[in-house]
Amino acid sequence: MTFRHPSPTLAMTVLCGLLVVTGIGALALGATGFGFGEVFGTQTSSSLARVVITQIRAPRVVFAMLAGAALASSGAVMQGLFRNPLADPGLIGVSSGAALGAALVIVLGLGELFANWAVPLGGMAGGLASTALLYGFSTRNGVMSTNTVILAGVALGAFSGALIGILIFRANDTALRDLTFWTMGSLAGATWTRIGLLMPFLIVAALLIGTLATPLNALLLGETDAALMGYRVERSKRLAMLGVALATGPVVAFAGVIGFVGVVVPHLVRLMTGPDHRIVLPCSALLGATLLVCADTIARVIAIPADVPVGVVTAAIGAPAFVWLLARAERPDAPS
């Protein structure tokens, strides 16, 4: 079986083009029905159109791009680090911890504190605290056991789920609705201010993750071989967890739990480009951004005037597409 992949430059150019086209399309589509001309200034824009485009659609599209890129590249890091195709950013407890943090804020009725920042702040704190807890639990004498991370991550997720269950039991109707919506994921709350708050986290995470491409390639061969080739395995594992927590925590805190992007996108990219993380990481970010913008646009327009949670769309479209792709990739005559 030989490899026939497009060149990295071609793959990245195509994905960049796709992202631009998707972004323009997403700006043009929405509940208010402005046409392309109004959106892109060939006709005189009304002030309403300008407000809708610049203050509602544009931040939402940008937020979807950033969130999709963060979740997908984090998923690629996790799958490489754990050498496990089912790994996703949630594995290190970010999602479950963030869900618990947000649920606490919602159910205790603190949601309107700090000018409505309490839920995302609670989510962020919960996500980062839970990752730190998992790291501490899985590390002995400076060596982090990836197996323990996986198993403890599952246990932590179940425990967080139980605590959220208790909170749901205690919640009133309003809190229950907020909580349900949050756990299904939604980009409806995207604003330029929130994007501004998200950016520092994502920039630091991108810098960290950017240094991991070559070590992750070596780690595919196992920790022993990576160490023998001179890679600082423990440092790479710590940086990977930190990068993923910084990329995913704030996204989950603002947008809730958006499933499937972190698992599916790296798979799709590897089918296209092969396993080299120097290509998989940037391509995952680009494809993740594109797919989440698509999913969010569908979420916005599929049930106008209602706004369907984007997590529902990613799962509904992602799951069958993923199964079809896997079945196709496993065929003996399929190109790698």
Partner 1 sequence: MTLDIDAVSCRIGGRLLLDDISLRVPSGSLVAIVGPNGAGKSTLLRVASGLIPADAGRVMLDGVCLNDMTPERLATRRAMLAQDSPLRTRFPVRDLVRTGLRGIPAKEAEMLIAEVLRRVGMAEFVQRDVLSLSGGERQRVHLARVLAQLEAGARSDTPGLLLLDEPISAQDLARQALVLDIARSHVRRGGACLVVLHDLNWAASRADTVIVLAGGRICATGPPRAVLTPDMLAQTFTVAAPRVHLHDTTGRPFVVPHDITSALAAETENKDITCISP
Per-residue 3-state assignment (H helix, E strand, C coil) for 42-108: CCCCCHHHHHHHHHHHHHHHHHHHHHHHHHHHHHHHHHHHHCCCCCCHHHHCHHHHHHHHHHHHHHC
Terminal Cα-to-Cα distance of the chain (whole angstroms) = 8
Residue 288: its H or E element: helix 277-301
> How far, in Å, CA of 134 to CA of 302, rounded?
39
**Residues of span 244-283 touching partner 1 by CB under 8 A:** 274-276
CB of 308 to partner 1, least distance (A): 36
CB nearer partner 1, residue 136 or residue 230: 230
> How far, in Å, CA of 193 to CA of 191, rounded?
5
Question: Cβ of 125: how many Cβ atoms within 10 Å?
Answer: 18
CB nearer partner 1, residue 68 or residue 80: 80
CB nearer partner 1, residue 230 or residue 305: 230
CB of 225 to partner 1, least distance (A): 6
CB nearer partner 1, residue 7 or residue 116: 7
CB of 276 to partner 1, least distance (A): 6
> Closest Cα to residue 70, out of 206, 161, 174, 188?
206
CB of 68 to partner 1, least distance (A): 24
CB of 226 to partner 1, least distance (A): 8
CB nearer partner 1, residue 44 or residue 224: 224
The answer to whether residue 177 forms part of the interface with partner 1 (CB under 8 A) is: no
Q: Quick check: helix, strand or coil at residue 172?
A: coil
The answer to whether residue 141 forms part of the interface with partner 1 (CB under 8 A) is: no
The answer to whether residue 8 forms part of the interface with partner 1 (CB under 8 A) is: no
215 contacts 149 by C-beta, under 8 angstroms? no
CB of 12 to partner 1, least distance (A): 18
**Residues of span 206-235 touching partner 1 by CB under 8 A:** 214, 217-218, 220-222, 224-225, 227-232
- Residues shown for the chain: 336
Burial of 165 (0-12, 13-18, 19+ CB in 10 A): exposed
CB of 189 to partner 1, least distance (A): 37
> How far, in Å, CA of 287 to CA of 57, rounded?
20
The answer for residues whose C-beta is within 8 angstroms of residue 130's C-beta and 6 or more apart is 93, 94, 96, 97, 98, 100, 156, 160
The answer to whether residue 336 forms part of the interface with partner 1 (CB under 8 A) is: yes
CB of 139 to partner 1, least distance (A): 17
CB nearer partner 1, residue 1 or residue 115: 1
CB nearer partner 1, residue 122 or residue 215: 215
CB nearer partner 1, residue 91 or residue 106: 91
Would you tell me which residues interact with partner 1 (CB under 8 A)? 1-3, 83, 214, 217-218, 220-222, 224-225, 227-232, 274-276, 336
